[in-house]
Chain A
Amino acid sequence: MRTRNIKMVVSLLMMVAVLVTACGPMATEAPPEPTATVAPVMKEFEGQTVSVIATWGGDEQESFMAMVAPWEERTGASVEYEGTRDLNAVLTTRTSGGNPPDIAGLPGPAVLEQFASDGHLVDLSTFMDMNTLRQQYDQSWLDLASFNGGLYGLFTKVAVKSLIWYNPQAFEAAGYTIPETWDELIALSDQIVADGTTPWCVGLESGAASGWPGTDWIEDIMLRTAGPEVYDQWRMHEIPWTDSAVRNAWETWGTIVGNAEYLNGGTTGVLATNFGESPYPMFQDPPGCYLHRQATFIEGFITDQFPDLEAETDYNYFAFPPIEGDGMPILSAGDLFGMFNDTPAARSLIEWLASAEAQEIWARRGGFISPNRNVSADVYPNPLIGQAAELLTMADTVRFDASDLMPTAVNDAFWSGILDYVENPANLDGILQTIEATASEAYGE
């Protein structure tokens, strides 16, 4: 009798223990109230943290942390940074779980629009001084981040994409000159092949985002062969992917990626090489390739691998040449910050990130072009980046990376299509039909 009672008590206790453990997280769910200001000379947000999530890791993460350090110093708050390669999944999970980060660095306006239209993002115009913003930022940057009359994102780090990088030493040694038209570019490629070497380094591998460097090629070509108006129609899906203008752009790219003789490592090399490592062979002796088309940020990858190389003398770029006519449109892209939680500390951080003072910090560290007009060209670590920034402001036609503006499902299909095309260029019709099927559905909603 007695032992049975003890057994019962023990089992009851165990059950209670299990229940309490199970409920543990719930009990602590209420966030601790910010500690009241006790000391008289306390900094504004002493002890508070602002969580930031973005795709940056390594050098870029260090640069971002350097960028927020003065703000942390001034306000007493700290930034809790989390870098992820799978930003979309993490953000979707955290927003639907009611636990979004305070601020996120988003890789393009399409993702921003998604979260804005779901009502997860805070309209920045509710607390930021729009007049100051308009003075500091070109209207086009603000427009790209505006939806339904609200400003939901802030561009801080932009890139110029229409660049072809080369090794001036190798060019000089071989007696090559910079091509000024697409035809000259192809003639140069043929010349390099005839000389027994390989003209191009192309690398499409990028984890779950593999294929994206190819989308930039298509966009640059499309801007030049079909013109900016058709480019806009294409990215808004007013013309289908099976349209001859789109097809033509792919085929034009095919003259390079469809020709194994042009490519370092051949077709498989293109698919298997990481985009960041792909320009390395250009600086070998003898050079594994002579040309590499990539945005401004590739400089960081080059100097990380070869710290002794000097800008302009050891590596340089020329603008992607015109194809039809003499138009030199520039393709740009950028990361923007969106705010998920409207807290005073997060507001303060966003305002700091928007400032020229903050952006100069990262600009000085390299791999960063600021869209803020007040950031002076002198802060860039070498003239190349300053010149690229100039290309952006001086160009007659600037277009934002179309794939970054497309719905994520279409963008993903675009990436896949790029890989399929490189592996099997003969299947172009099937590839475009597949992307079109995804697009007509995604835009139809």
Chain B
Amino acid sequence: MRRVRYLPWLYAGPTLLLLILFLVYPSLDTVRLSLLGPNSETFVALENYKYAFTTNEMWTAFRNNAVWLILFTVVTVAGGLIIAVLLDRVKYEPVAKSLIFLPQAISFVGAGVIWKFVYDYNPNVGLLNAILTGLFPNADPVGWLVNSNVATYALITTGIWMWTGFAMVILSAAVKDVPQEIMESARIDGANEWQLFWRITVPYIGSTIAVVTTTMIINVLKVFDLVYVMTAGRYQTNVIANQMYKELYINRQNGRASAISVILLVAIIPVMLFNIRRFQEQEAMR
């Protein structure tokens, strides 16, 4: 037995090495860079963090990320769950599920381009404005992506379109896992479908809901591509990741960009830890 003690390290070694090289080291280096100036030469202490928490642009980004966080997460998880439960009872389930899952096969950039057309201001191009002006001939088309009041919501809708299918597939698998015996006995005891859903299905798949929710939260904190492709962060749609990109490539502020990414990382870590803990508990239960 003694001889194989190093074997786990042998298996895990290469992965560990790669993780340290490509994940741990860059993360630590980012923290170091976030304390340095624009050219990563002078030490500026916490100046970059002060900047990140005091400028208007960053507050817009924080606010938008918060809106994304709430709307996107709630709608994808709740929507995915409702669809999963409802489709569980129909014959055409596989077809419907495939259709809803389909957007997952499209890249963020592809989805961004598609929805840019859907939202186009010109009713001859934009589907939404075509419907709008078709139904109400007197209505003016809406600048979905250029009106600061609606642009962020337009982007979030695209995100929801892409990710509801993902939530649905995972939750659907969990829903099918709920033992029919429990459902049957509850029905015999006189529970209605509404009670079945809230008292049995939801508690039974609670850990899956938690995992899907945390995955969505991590997704949404990192959102970048859709915003970059569809509005480039203009019209008050900026998010944290886009501001980081802008500081790095346009403003050439290495320090600020690093500080923003550290803030993003710190925001994601608790969610990640929670996710891992839930996962471990789940594993332990099996």
Contact = CB atoms under 8 A, between A and B. Distances in A.
Interface of A: 4, 7-8, 11-12, 15, 18-19, 22, 86, 88-89, 92-93, 114, 205, 207-208, 210-211, 265-266, 268-269, 271-273, 408-409, 412, 415-416, 419, 423, 434, 442, 445
B64 to A, nearest CB: 15
Interface of A is mostly: helix
Given A208-B228, A272-B146, A423-B148, A89 B10 contact: no
B140 A266 contact: yes
A29 B145 CA distance: 44
Contacts of B99: none
Given A11-B10, A419-B234, 14 more contacts: A4-B4, A8-B7, A15-B14, A88-B250, A92-B248, A114-B252, A208-B228, A268-B143, A268-B146, A273-B121, A408-B251, A409-B252, A415-B234, A423-B146
Question: Ordered nearest first, which 3 A-B pairs have the shortest CB separation?
Answer: A272-B121, A268-B143, A271-B146
A19 B140 contact: no
Contacts of B143: 268-269, 271-272
Interface-centre pick from B14, B140, B141 (highest chain A CB count, 10 A): B14
A408 B246 CA distance: 10
Contacts of B4: 4
A112 to B, nearest CB: 14
B231 to A, nearest CB: 8
Interface residues of B, number: 32
A205 to B, nearest CB: 7
B271 interface: no
Nearest to A204: B146
Contacts, number: 76
Contacts of A409: 250-252
A92 B14 contact: no
A223 to B, nearest CB: 26
A129 B14 CA distance: 55
A408 B14 contact: no
Contacts of A7: 7
B43 interface: no
Given A268-B146, A416-B234, A445-B38, A12 B121 contact: no
Nearest to A211: B234
B274 interface: no
A269 B124 CA distance: 13
B249 A92 contact: yes
B250 A419 contact: no
A442 B252 CA distance: 10
B239 to A, nearest CB: 14
Interface-centre pick from A8, A93, A114 (highest chain B CB count, 10 A): A8
Nearest to A273: B121
30 contacts: A7-B7, A12-B10, A15-B13, A15-B14, A18-B14, A22-B18, A88-B250, A89-B245, A92-B248, A92-B252, A114-B252, A208-B228, A211-B234, A268-B121, A268-B141, A268-B147, A271-B143, A272-B143, A273-B121, A408-B250, A408-B251, A409-B251, A409-B252, A412-B250, A419-B146, A419-B234, A419-B235, A423-B148, A423-B235, A434-B56
